[in-house]
């Protein structure tokens, strides 16, 4: 099947989820900030509770068919932020946040990081809940949490890739299974958010079966990936939620007299770096921050600068989930681990979804020693730079000197062949990508520098856990006759790490002395004790208080499902849990027009020595 060309209903008609920002109302019952797993869940469930919901997303609405499939297009979809410089559009899809010791990659768009992650949805080991969580989680046995997992699974449909008559065997799975057998480790297929048979999902969106293109992490152009864009957000729109994109929230502020919250945002998120326009705000009784680990923490840090009282723990307990990246280069077996990019189906040989299996080392003694090694797929958009990149990395890092001379000559010939024939032949076609997760020390920190949050975790890559993980990866690569190549940043940037699973910054705890939010995600209003800011919540990876040792999206979703159910219960709202597979009419494309907004604030002198603050917006 060719590209889907946007979201479609069962009858093939187009669906647009976002609304022009000129149509935003001054007040809503609920404002949700961000549209990843936490934001999509909050918008869906609170809209189902009959609330007037506004969702603000800093990125664009990119639909299947819009994602980059060439190096040029991928380059245009990158933004990079560090203490020293920033480049790229603020709404670019791939958002790199470079800090001291580690760089985080997160997604920017309607659907958040779900647009570019590797699809895996699995529960952590029970030991993960043994310490570090609020008492209400009951070491992972809390019924509300377990129900949260069930509800998330029902919407996201994590399913293993199972070869059968219609789903061919995948070379990368066979290579990984061989590596597990040789090293004596446990091989396990992974549950992934991918549709394997044509269907109309719970939100009324048609999803075709996966065609095994492999380009999950550059954005699924065919609609088979079960991103939040495909389920929770359409579901929220079905129940009346209003979605506004390219709206970057700056900070939140309590309204006088306890009348809810003001959410200040820039409605030109992609252009604000070059041209200042008046900052707008919208008010709400309840605000749910779900802008991601870095985004939600950043908003609260800026809000604290504007006067919001918070726990002193804000920004702390940051973790990268012990993420590592490595490669088994030029194995003795085929892998077919490069996405198809601009090629069109059918694909032979099939690549398969990005991650389909893992070597599970979580049975080691102690959660600190746990590890999973997942096989992955390199996005097809990067194919032009792969042969030379790997050739250079192998020359610098590859340990080939112990091999027989004829083996080395044969491999050298294959490498030169790949420079001419491309990545579908030779050593790149025999290269397995390894994506690793485990348990680090969760003592990183997010700090505000200028107006942006930056990670401070110097020398984290030098700690013993990452040295040991590299040894495990080398053994796994050797098991399939490959040369192990660590992530290029490991050496070029002096053992700096790259994570795609940042967690923490607004960690849960039973007291403000130890965390930023309570077990529901409500923000603490002091530096100790249990007093909270009524109506201000965080519901994303920022609240997770420790690494989870596996892809965290399902746990983030379960925690968010639990939180919004408790928020609704506390307010006396009944969430409609019925299955609803109808899709409301598509929103019209924005029409050309002129939108003017002026925000004014100041004080009124009453003439008796007292003043009152006043602010208003003219639109």
- Residue 127 burial class via C-beta count within 10 angstroms: exposed 0-12, middle 13-18, buried 19 and up: middle
Q: What are phi and psi of 537, to 5 degrees?
A: -130, 160
Long-range contacts (CB closer than 8 Å, 24 or more residues apart) made by 89-92? 89/270, 90/58, 90/248, 90/269, 90/270, 90/271, 90/272, 90/273, 91/58, 91/59, 91/60, 91/246, 91/269, 91/270
Residue 209 contacts by C-beta under 8 Å, 6 or more apart in sequence? 1, 166, 195, 196, 197, 198, 224
pLDDT confidence bin for 613, thresholds 50/70/90? very low
Neighbours of 594 (CB within 10 A): 5
The CATH number corresponding to 24-157+226-321+441-456+495-619 among 3.30.710.10, 3.40.50.10490, 3.50.50.60, 3.40.710.10 equals 3.50.50.60
Q: What is the pLDDT, as a whole number, of residue 312?
A: 98
Q: What is the pLDDT, as a whole number, of residue 492?
A: 60
pLDDT at 108 exceeding the cut of 50: yes
**Mean pLDDT of all residues belonging to the chain:** 89
d(C-alpha 213, C-alpha 185), whole Å: 29
Q: Residues 339, 379: contact at Cβ < 8 Å?
A: yes
The continuous run of DSSP H or E covering 233 comes out as: helix 232-238
pLDDT confidence bin for 397, thresholds 50/70/90? low
Q: What is the pLDDT, as a whole number, of residue 597?
A: 44
**Residue from 341, 337, 416 nearest 381 by CA:** 341
Phi-psi region of 157 (alpha: psi -120 to 50; beta: other; left: phi over 0): left
**Residue from 386, 400, 384 nearest 433 by CA:** 386
Which residues are paired to 249 by β-bridges?
Answer: 265
Q: What is the pLDDT, as a whole number, of residue 345?
A: 85
d(C-alpha 277, C-alpha 387), whole Å: 45
Q: How far is CA 531 from the centre of its chain?
A: 30
The DSSP-derived string for 403-461 is S-HHHHHHHHHHHHHHHHH-TTSGGGGG-EEEEEEE-----BEEEEETTEEEEE-TTGG
The percent of residues in the chain predicted with pLDDT above 70, rounded, is: 85
Q: What is the pLDDT, as a whole number, of residue 418?
A: 65
Q: What is the pLDDT, as a whole number, of residue 493?
A: 58
The DSSP-derived string for 548-559 is -SS--HHHHHHH
d(C-alpha 186, C-alpha 372), whole Å: 10
User: Greater confidence, 12 or 339?
Assistant: 339
- Beta strands 53-56 and 242-244 are parallel
pLDDT confidence bin for 616, thresholds 50/70/90? very low
Q: What is the pLDDT, as a whole number, of residue 185?
A: 95
Q: Per-residue pLDDT averaged across 252-280, rounded?
A: 82
Residue 215 contacts by C-beta under 8 Å, 6 or more apart in sequence? 67, 69, 221, 339, 340, 341, 377, 379, 380, 381
d(C-alpha 155, C-alpha 201), whole Å: 8
SS3 content of the chain, % helix, strand, coil (to 5): 30, 25, 45
Q: What is the pLDDT, as a whole number, of residue 509?
A: 98
Q: Residues 5, 64: contact at Cβ < 8 Å?
A: yes
Q: Which of 299-308, 404-413, 431-440 is the least confident region? A: 404-413
pLDDT at 275 exceeding the cut of 80: no
Q: What are phi and psi of 35, to 5 degrees?
A: -135, 25
pLDDT at 23 exceeding the cut of 60: yes
pLDDT, tens digit, for every residue of 356-387? 999 999 987 666 778 999 999 999 999 888 87
**Residue from 227, 225, 548 nearest 372 by CA:** 548
d(C-alpha 19, C-alpha 119), whole Å: 28
Q: Per-residue pLDDT averaged across 541-561, rounded?
A: 98
d(C-alpha 463, C-alpha 109), whole Å: 34
Q: Which residues of the chain does CATH 3.50.50.60 include?
A: 24-157+226-321+441-456+495-619
Q: Which of 269-273, 312-316, 551-555, 583-587 is the least confident region? A: 583-587
Q: What is the pTM of this model?
A: 0.91
pLDDT confidence bin for 61, thresholds 50/70/90? very high
pLDDT at 594 exceeding the cut of 60: no
d(C-alpha 466, C-alpha 418), whole Å: 31
pLDDT at 586 exceeding the cut of 50: no
């Amino acid at each position: 099947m060719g590209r889907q060309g946007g979201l479609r209903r069962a009858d093939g008609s187009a669906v647009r989820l976002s609304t022009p920002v000129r149509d935003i109302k001054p007040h809503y019952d609920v404002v949700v900030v961000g549209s990843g797993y936490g934001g999509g869940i909050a918008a869906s469930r609170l809209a189902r509770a009959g609330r007037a919901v506004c969702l603000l997303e800093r990125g664009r609405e990119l639909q299947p068919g819009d994602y980059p499939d060439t190096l040029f297009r991928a380059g245009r979809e990158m933004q990079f932020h560090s203490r020293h410089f920033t480049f790229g559009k603020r709404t670019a899809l791939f958002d790199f946040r470079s800090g001291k010791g580690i760089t985080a990659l997160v997604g920017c768009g309607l659907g958040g990081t779900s647009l570019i992650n590797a699809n895996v949805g699995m529960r952590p080991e029970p030991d993960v809940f043994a310490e570090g969580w609020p008492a209400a989680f009951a070491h992972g046995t809390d019924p509300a949490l377990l129900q949260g997992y069930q509800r998330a699974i029902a919407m996201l449909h994590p399913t293993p890739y199972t070869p059968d008559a219609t789903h061919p065997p995948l070379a990368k799975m066979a290579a990984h299974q061989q590596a597990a057998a040789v090293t004596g480790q446990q091989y396990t297929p992974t549950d992934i958010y991918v549709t394997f048979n044509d269907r109309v999902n719970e939100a009324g969106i048609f999803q075709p079966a996966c065609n095994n293109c492999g380009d999950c992490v550059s954005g699924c152009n065919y609609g088979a990936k079960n991103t939040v864009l495909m389920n929770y957000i359409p579901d929220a729109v079905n129940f009346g939620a209003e979605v506004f994109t390219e709206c970057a929230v700056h900070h939140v502020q309590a309204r006088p007299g306890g009348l809810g919250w003001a959410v200040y945002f820039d409605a030109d998120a992609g252009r604000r770096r070059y041209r200042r326009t008046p900052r707008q705000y919208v008010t709400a009784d309840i605000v749910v921050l779900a802008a991601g680990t870095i985004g939600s923490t950043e908003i609260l840090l800026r809000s604290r600068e504007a006067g919001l009282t918070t726990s002193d723990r804000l920004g702390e307990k940051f973790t990268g989930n012990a993420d590592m990246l490595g490669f088994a280069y030029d194995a003795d077996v085929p892998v077919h681990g490069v996405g198809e990019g601009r090629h069109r189906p059918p694909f032979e040989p099939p690549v398969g979804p990005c991650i389909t299996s893992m070597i599970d080392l979580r049975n080691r003694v102690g959660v600190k020693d746990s590890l999973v090694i997942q096989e992955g797929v390199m996005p097809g958009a990067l194919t032009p730079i792969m042969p030379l990149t790997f050739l250079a990395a192998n020359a610098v890092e590859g340990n080939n000197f112990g091999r027989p001379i004829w083996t080395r000559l044969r491999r050298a010939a294959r490498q030169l062949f790949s420079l001419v024939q491309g990545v579908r032949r030779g050593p790149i076609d025999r290269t397995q990508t390894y994506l690793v997760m485990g348990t680090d020390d969760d003592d990183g920190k997010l700090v505000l520098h200028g107006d942006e949050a930056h990670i401070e975790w110097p020398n984290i890559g030098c700690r013993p856990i990452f040295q040991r993980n590299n040894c495990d990866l080398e053994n796994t690569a050797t098991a399939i006759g490959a040369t192990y190549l660590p992530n290029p940043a490991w050496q070029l940037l002096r053992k700096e790490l790259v994570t795609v699973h940042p967690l923490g910054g607004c960690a849960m705890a039973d007291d403000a002395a130890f965390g930023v939010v309570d077990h529901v995600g409500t923000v603490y209003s002091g530096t100790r004790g249990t007093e909270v800011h009524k109506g201000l919540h965080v519901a994303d990876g920022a609240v997770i208080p420790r690494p989870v040792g596996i892809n965290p999206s399902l746990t983030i979703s379960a925690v968010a499902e639990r939180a919004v159910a408790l928020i609704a219960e506390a307010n006396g709202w009944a969430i409609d849990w019925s299955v609803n597979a109808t899709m409301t009419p598509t929103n019209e494309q924005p029409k050309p027009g002129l939108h003017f907004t002026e925000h004014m604030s100041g004080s009124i002198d009453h003439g008796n020595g007292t003043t009152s603050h006043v602010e208003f917006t003219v639109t």
